[in-house]
Chain A
Amino acid sequence: MLSAPSASVLLPLLPPDASAHGPALDHQLLLCLWIILALASLAHILIFLGLILRRSGSPRDPWAIEYLPLGALALLFTALAIHSEHLWADSRYTGASLEAMQIEVTGMQFAWYFRYPGLDATFGSTRPQLASAPEGNPIGIDPADPHSTDDFVTSELVLPAGHEIDLTLRAQDVIHGFSVPELRLKQNAIPGETIHIHFTATKPGTYAILCTQLCGMGHYRMNANLRVLPDDEFENWIEAKEKAAHR
């Protein structure tokens, strides 16, 4: 139990941020945390003062005590809400730009798979009947489809730094939660639906991709690595992959 203080210094409040929209989010989050810390302390101070001060039976006026503070809180919450809804609108209301890079994520018990469309920049169709990890086709790509010939699937997500990514989320069996704390990114993948999110990773590095929706006994170990590479390295990587896919 004594480890508490030491722990909280060991532990950064938030993991380092590596995305374009992250800083604004962090700012809003920390702002809110400070505000509620202040409100909570204020409330507790008031409680303690109220308890220890001498009793007074003098009548109080409800406006001063109830409605004004309420109005203040209303303004406060409204301001916070407006700001954060703007952030939300920026990140979710509109789709990705056209030159965004297409990648498809598929969640299944208990792994993430990432599919790159290859040279033709379009994904081949998939059929669950064909899906089988042992045969090297975990997401069931249909070889009959011409588009699918140059698709390739990886078990780690590799991204170029500073490029916008248009991520297509799919789930094969149950609901999974695609989450990258360092990118301040979270979105559930739902069977039978394809969900798009778009973002830009800024800092090169290796980050954790977690599953944040209870999906069965292996939920806790359903994760993958995200490698954000500088442009040139990424080019080499993807060319190598595409060659391999063609053969």
Chain B
Amino acid sequence: MPSTITPINTEWEKKRRLDDHDSGHGRRPPNDKRTGGGGDNDNWNDRPQGRRGPREKLSRARLGLFFALAGDTMFFVAIVSAFFVAQGTSHIDAYNRYINEWLPTAVPPILWLNTAVLLLSSVTMEIARRTMFRENDAMDEWLGLGKPVTRRALPWLTATTVLGLLFLAGQAEAWRQLGLQHVFFASNPSSHFFYLITYTHAIHLFLGIGALGASLITLYLSRQLEMRQILVDCTGWYWHTMGVFWIFLFVMLAFFQ
């Protein structure tokens, strides 16, 4: 990190100086990557918590998100295991016939398209996320030279949002097509799971779209780089995870019925 622009005496107080783009984290340059809080000694404890530089809050938010996503993974794991259990179960009917009511739901072809769209959205999301951390732009902002980071990230983030909405529209179409074949949520064991899984995943994506919207607005309004970085970064990781979940669930629905 160029020491020339590292202020010698940074501040103690949580003062926000929006005029010179300091979100109150002690006026550390954005390229300073130390986070603190690890109990080790590189965490500049000469500064109270919350004022230890731009990466402190970011790392917290990220970690929090990861833990939450770990829980979310367990949520889907539970549903998936139920899926395989239900596939196996059967019963002997009144006439001593072995009945397995599982008749696989043929996934509508459009899901392939949706999957591609979601993958693409993950790519744009990742580009947007990376641009938030480009050293030069970040330094420019810190030195007060406009909002290059926002300028670069906006198009990619917008693209992601559009693709995400496209995916949801595609899912809706898939449900409609199944509806035309009279396959509904309540139709049979397999359709239960098809709808349950696609619905819950869609709800997760709705939340993701919400987060994207929030970050878009923040990109416009907020003048604090830190704020914008945290939002876009976390949205990014969330979005990628939902992408991975979808790949897994889709493969399961398509090939493991």
Interface residues of A (CB under 8 A from B): 125-127, 142, 192-194
Across-interface contacts of B94 in A (CB, < 8 A): 125-127, 142
Across-interface contacts of B91 in A (CB, < 8 A): 192-193
Across-interface contacts of A127 in B (CB, < 8 A): 94
Q: Is B96 an interface residue (CB 8 A)?
A: yes
A-B contact pairs, 9 of them (CB 8 A): A125-B94, A125-B95, A125-B96, A126-B94, A127-B94, A142-B94, A192-B91, A193-B91, A194-B92
C-beta contact mask, B84-110 vs A, less than 8 Å → 1, else 0? 000000011011100000000000000
Q: B132-186: which residues lie under 8 A (CB-CB) from chain A?
A: none
Give the shortest distance, in Å, between A176 (CB) and chain B (any CB). Answer: 18
B90 nearest in chain A by CB position = A192
Across-interface contacts of B95 in A (CB, < 8 A): 125
CA of A126 to CA of B92, assembled, Å: 11
Across-interface contacts of A126 in B (CB, < 8 A): 94
Across-interface contacts of A125 in B (CB, < 8 A): 94-96
Give the shortest distance, in Å, between A142 (CB) and chain B (any CB). Answer: 6
A193 nearest in chain B by CB position = B91
List of 4 A-B pairs having minimum Cβ-Cβ separation, nearest first = A127-B94, A125-B94, A192-B91, A125-B96
CA of A192 to CA of B94, assembled, Å: 11
A128 nearest in chain B by CB position = B94
CA of A54 to CA of B74, assembled, Å: 52
A194 nearest in chain B by CB position = B92
B94 nearest in chain A by CB position = A127
6 other A-B residue contacts (CB within 8 Å) besides A125-B96, A126-B94, A127-B94: A125-B94, A125-B95, A142-B94, A192-B91, A193-B91, A194-B92
CA of A86 to CA of B92, assembled, Å: 32
A125 nearest in chain B by CB position = B94
Q: Which of B92, B94, B95 has the most CB of A within 10 A?
A: B94
CA of A127 to CA of B94, assembled, Å: 6
Give the shortest distance, in Å, between A195 (CB) and chain B (any CB). Answer: 13
Give the shortest distance, in Å, between B190 (CB) and chain A (any CB). Answer: 18
